[in-house]
Amino acid sequence: MRNQMKYYKLNLCFLRQILLVLIPAIHTTNAFVVSRKIAIRANYCICSHQTDHECIDGAAKPIIQSTVSPSPSSLAKPICLTHQVLIPTTQIGVPPRQAISVEDLTPTIQTLLQESGMSHGTVNVISRHTTTAITINERESRLASDMEQYFLNLVPPDERSICEASQQGTRYLHNDIDVRPDSAEETQRCIENGWNVHDEVELQKWRDQEPINAHSHLISMILGSSESIPVVDGKMIIGQWQSVLLVDLDGPRDRTVGVQLIGFK
């Protein structure tokens, strides 16, 4: 009996120690959950950007300037607008030669943003071609030339390409037009896009118009096909020297982009 009492006392002491550890943790967790709920209910969007650094104890500490956007409930009404925008090439009269060129989308996007009346939200920009790309960088003519040279060295054009930078000995499977379409999937895509490749005459027409442009597809994959830009107080939050750029990798040609504005007035 005495041994049993000693056993129960030990267990009670052990249980007491566990509770002393758990109870503060439970209170802390509840406080975190409550504060998280409050933060979610506030629906505030903190838009921050790093502007400078200061050194504290030998370490660089970012200096943050923050803008508190209004909660959705205080804004006029939601906006969701989608535009298909034609971007004419600035190289008028120049025939397509599988060259790389850059077009600045920023003025067009700013016009659409102003017309929409959106004050807070996001602008989504997407390329509608497999041989164009969307990126954010500086719009400067010599940098555009550097970009063209860099990417054509990185992914040289096929020796069968009409591109001036075509490289002898370079070949891509995509450019073996004479054996395409070589799968049921590609055949179906051709048919869905208006090419009856089951007809020999139509098949040859499709092959004749298909460019030797595998390098353009590959560079597009490297650069990416879309960008999302925050909007605060009716303005895109981009840097002083940043522009939203359409990079044509198989041009110059007229191209189209999709622009979607999602947010609030």
Q: Residue 28 above 50 pLDDT? A: no
Give the mean model confidence (pLDDT) for residues 110-123: 96
Q: Which residue has the higher pLDDT, 86 or 49?
A: 86
The pLDDT score that the predictor gives to residue 163 is 92
Q: Residue 43 above 90 pLDDT? A: no
Residues 6+ apart with CB under 8 A from 146: none
Per-residue pLDDT of 84-95, as tens digits, reads: 999 998 888 777
pLDDT band at 23 (very low <50, low <70, confident <90, very high): very low
Decide if 226 contacts 134 (C-beta within 8 A). yes
Per-residue pLDDT of 156-174, as tens digits, reads: 999 999 999 999 999 999 9
The pLDDT score that the predictor gives to residue 125 is 98
Closest CA to 247 of 225, 231, 265: 225
What is the rounded CA–CA span in Å between residue 140 and residue 147?
10
Decide if 158 contacts 211 (C-beta within 8 A). no
Sheet with 99-104: list strands edge to edge: 99-104, 243-251, 132-137
Q: Which residue has the higher pLDDT, 235 or 72?
A: 235
Per-residue pLDDT of 175-195, as tens digits, reads: 999 999 999 999 999 999 999
